[in-house]
Chain A
Amino acid sequence: MSSKGMYQPVAEKLARRETVVLDGAIGTEILRRNVTWADHQLASQPEFVRGIHEDYIRAGADVISTNSFQLCRRALYNHFRDAAHRRQIGATDLDERANRLLAESVRLAIEARERAAAGRPVAVAAAVTTLEWCFRPDLAPSAEQARDEYREILEVVKEAGADLVLLETVNSIAEARVALEVAKSLGMTCWVAFVPDERGRLFTGEEFQHAAATLEPRGVDAILLNCAPPEDITAGMAQLAPHAHVPIGAYAHIGRFDPPEWLFTDEYPPAKYRDAAARWKQMGSRILGGCCGTTPEHIAALGELR
């Protein structure tokens, strides 16, 4: 089936107002299985990463997202003063490493689908995060700079065969807009997931009403909320749902950020997480999944909300 074809069943479900199940965490799931996430494990342990995708597919995910959180050339370059310094002491593959790993992340998700989907339609979403740190909108690059970098990233994942782009943990309307415009110029389906704060606003203080008003005319295919505790997702949903005209969705994190890793807690076992998601569904969410700390068991529980 062509790339467009794989998104088609998802689009149809959304049009019929059915629930679409998104996968759960990849990065923290790698840690939970007792492997370090320092290099995404895309090159060193590809079968292991693919295995997690397969587990999410078997748990019932309609959309799986690639293991590419925060993976971009800028993230590698940020560790050096400048190009001269990078050439002096840096690994020699840093100009092309991020794009190579991005393509690999898409390839592994597609492979997982081939091995585990058993004919069921599963769409592969290329997970693309803010160019700078997801929780630090103050560090965001200029729109002009961001446009070039998003073009580079999105061209790679499109070429690699992703069915859609999932811009996630986005912290400002401006960056979402730039990335969405690039995705649309490439003819890609694009979901945008924002991180909400405790008051249900963006980290910039902007409101989701304005986010929807900015992104909808530019062709966004869905707007979601992610990477915040369930209560904050609910707060954000209360702001977003009344103003959105496109499908909306949510995937919360559970547990605690313990940089550079994750602290797993028993606060939200699968059934309780499902109940939180049921509330988001009630508020209008049609896409439900899990962010950091969630597991295939959580995603399997979401299947009960279909």
Chain B
Amino acid sequence: MYDLIRSRLQTREPVLLDGALGTELVRRGVRWRKHGLLTDAPAIERLHGEYLAAGADVLRTNTFQLNPRIYLNVFRNREHMRHIGAPELEGLTPRLLRTSVQVARQARAKAGADGCAVIAGVLSPLEHCFRPDLAPSADQARGEQGALARVFAEEKVDFLLLESMNTIGEAAAALAAGRATGLPVWASFVLGPEGELLSREPLAEAVAEMERGGADAVLVNCVPPEHITQALEKLGRCCSLPIGGFAHVGRFSPPSWKFEFFPQFIETDQWPAERYLAEAKRWRERGATILGGCCGTRPAHIAALRAWLGAGTRSAEA
């Protein structure tokens, strides 16, 4: 299945990702507990289906920032979690990851897109995506990201997407852990206002590290559309791999209590599909092969990109 994508990347034909899951599910009223995977699987499946109908070549699993730490971090320690926490919290993450793949797979089957759309298992920073200062050591990251990657491999996702990576160290560790499963890996970085990684490490160094580590593509994501354009300018100059970007729209509105990343963006109507498309055209001009949408984007944004890009993997299959 991934061969279809690989060949498109080789010939620099565009590959279209889907848009946001978390922010759109929250906007639709899904309660953000366990990523909705236990309580709202039908809503997730429906949204995957809408992205396929909009023309996405790639479905991403609803697993952004989903790892055992997000539960463990809110307890004093593991013993405290066992003492006052819900039963099964410890084994929960692998179960949720498996469900996320199954839900995407079901959506794809229902859409009649088996054999053309691919499923990317989403890995992301183990700590808060916007807090590079909290990033774990490379050893820890490799072990923990590896455990997540192996679940995705067992569930037979088509490739792994490292999303919103905020340090070179954790991205390199996750890339190595991902490659160890034999799956192709794409690495996408979240940038700071300076235009480098959120950790302030140079984007060019991150690219070099990803090339050395055997990534299939390097992307930038989770910054506003114009900032993606600027980053792709830089990426186009320093990256020999296929490059891409997916921007967020609107502004991040964190919850008024402390927990992990919560997918809530406001003022997203500042970026309707047409305006998003106009900016995405600049990404393509700067060499982006892979396009999609991050937080705040919706199926309409992906449909606009598809209408402009023309046929995707599905017509290739036909």
Contact = CB atoms under 8 A, between A and B. Distances in A.
A and B pair up? yes
Interface of A: 36-40, 42, 69-71, 75-76, 78-81, 84-85, 87-92, 94, 97-98, 101, 132-133, 135-137, 197-198, 203, 228-229, 253, 256-261, 263
Contacts of A85: 130, 192-193, 198
B251 A91 contact: yes
A256 B256 contact: no
Contacts of A75: 254, 256-258
B95 interface: no
Given A81-B133, A88-B193, A256 B87 contact: yes
Interface string B68-109: 001101111000100111110100000000000000000000
A235 B318 CA distance: 70
A136 B97 CA distance: 27
Interface of B: 26, 31-33, 70-71, 73-76, 80, 83-87, 89, 128, 130-133, 192-194, 198, 223-224, 227, 248, 251-259, 261-262, 264, 266-267
B193 A87 contact: yes
> Which of A36, A87, A94 has the most CB atoms of chain B within a 10 A radius of its CB?
A36
Main secondary structure of the interface of B (DSSP, over half): loop
Nearest to B75: A135
Given A76-B256, A85-B130, A256-B84, A38 B74 contact: no
Contacts of A89: 223-224, 248, 251-252
A269 to B, nearest CB: 19
Contacts of A76: 254, 256
Closest 7 CB pairs of A and B: A258-B86, A79-B254, A91-B253, A70-B257, A88-B193, A263-B86, A256-B86
Contacts of A71: 256-257
A81 B194 CA distance: 12
A95 to B, nearest CB: 13
Given A85-B193, A88-B224, A38 B84 contact: no
Contact of B32 (A38, A80, A229): A38
Contact of B84 (A37, A70, A229): A229
A81 B256 contact: no
A76 B252 CA distance: 11
